Amino acid sequence: MKHETVLKEEAIQYLNIKENGIYVDGTLGGAGHSKLILEHLKDGFLYAFDQDDFAISFAKDVLKGFKNYKIIKSNFRFLKEKLKEEGIEKIDGLLLDLGLSSFQIDDETRGFTYLKDTSLDMRMDQDQSVTAETILNTYSMEELARIFFVYGEERNSFKIARRIVEKRPLKTTMELVKICDSVNYNEKGHSSKRVFQALRIAVNEELTVLEEVLADAVDLLNPDGRLVVITFHSLEDRIVKHFFKDESTSNLPKNLPVIELPDTKMELITRKPVYPTDEEYERNPRSKSAKLRAARKK
Ligand SMILES: C[S@@+](CC[C@H](N)C(=O)[O-])C[C@H]1O[C@@H](n2cnc3c(N)ncnc32)[C@H](O)[C@@H]1O
């Protein structure tokens, strides 16, 4: 099974790892970042979160040989509570490498890809009850259209939602693809790309959990602690960008002659997003849409 870690060295550089610090990888996945974090630690400790059973069993194998880490099977929206259960109130760095790993996308049984005919699942956490099938077959037409428009920026969201409601119950990814084909027949790219992205975000509540974990991270970080986030689409990046801006912009009037701005909790380290190098783009086309942003707790 192949999974290439995106912006690997860059993420570690921005985490600025202290060898005895406490670090959290919120998105363990194939453990590429976690392994590198552990290689930089001496007496420190790593807590690694993932909500996907397959990622966890894969990562355990990658990390065998290391001792100073613990894998926690949980959504990172529960980071604060889960760390508290471990007796941890403060951390020195949090890394979030959002979205899916290649092996989730490539796994034909998970329903993430519109290129394979499979069940309409799309859950990252297999214990969760809501699937893409639940949403498609039970949400109102208006709610479906909203999901496609807001999370997928799909222009034909209403038409697609109406056809879905007419054709219910939907069981397979190809039934959904056929509906998208019939509406987006003029499309240059794949007719279903935006609808699949939107559904995946809705099934896993990806934007809500991101907002929650960012808010908790500010409280959890020690002074000089780092928050490093890698995003893969504009909706996620917008949330991170605005969050960083809000947390690092002073509320003081701009024309006051202050040198230190005391009332913000974070300091931006990346004024502009960091992109993969051309060499990484070439080696791993999936890194194409990746953007890294980092901030430091004051
Ligand atoms: C892009 S991969 C991470 C790859 C990893 N950094 C590496 O080096 O291999 C994202 C992983 O995060 C997990 N994930 C995404 N959102 C999550 C969430 N809200 N809570 C827990 N895990 C999540 C996914 O299941 C997936 O395994």
Pick the residue whose CA is nearest to atom 12 on ligand 1.
Answer: 27
**pLDDT at residue 258 in the model:** 54
Q: Relative to the CA of 209, which ligand 1 atom is closest?
A: 19
**pLDDT at residue 186 in the model:** 86
**pLDDT at residue 260 in the model:** 52
Q: Relative to the CA of 11, which ligand 1 atom is closest?
A: 6
Handedness of CA 281, 285, 288, 293 (dihedral sign): negative
DSSP state of 277: -
For residue 113, the CA-to-ligand 1 centroid distance in Å is 17
39 pLDDT above the threshold of 60: yes
For 199-250, how does the pLDDT look when each residue is reduced to its tens digit (9 = 90+)? 999 999 999 999 999 999 999 999 999 999 999 999 999 999 999 999 997 6
**pLDDT at residue 236 in the model:** 97
In the structure, what pLDDT confidence band is assigned to residue 103 with cuts at 50, 70 and 90?
A: confident
Integer Cα distance of 59 and 48 in angstroms: 10
Domains of the chain: 8-103+206-297 (3.40.50.150), 129-203 (1.10.150.170)
| CA neighbor of 50 nearest in space, from 69, 81, 33, 72 | 72
Token pair, residue 284, equals 């791993």
> What are the phi and psi torsion angles at 292 (to 5°)?
-110, 135
Amino acid in the structure at residue 259: I
Alpha helices, H only, the chain: 8-15, 32-40, 53-62, 79-85, 102-106, 132-138, 141-152, 157-167, 173-183, 193-203, 206-220, 234-248, 278-283
Percent with pLDDT over 70 in the chain: 95
Q: Relative to the CA of 59, which ligand 1 atom is closest?
A: 9
For residue 3, the CA-to-ligand 1 centroid distance in Å is 12
- Mean pLDDT for 68-89 is 98
For residue 208, the CA-to-ligand 1 centroid distance in Å is 15
**pLDDT at residue 261 in the model:** 56
Ligand 1, from 101, 210, 233, 280: best to mutate by most atoms within 8 Å of Cβ? 101
Amino acid in the structure at residue 233: H
For residue 182, the CA-to-ligand 1 centroid distance in Å is 33
For residue 88, the CA-to-ligand 1 centroid distance in Å is 21
**pLDDT at residue 187 in the model:** 85
- Mean pLDDT for 28-56 is 97
**pLDDT at residue 2 in the model:** 67
In the structure, what pLDDT confidence band is assigned to residue 256 with cuts at 50, 70 and 90?
A: low
259 pLDDT above the threshold of 60: no
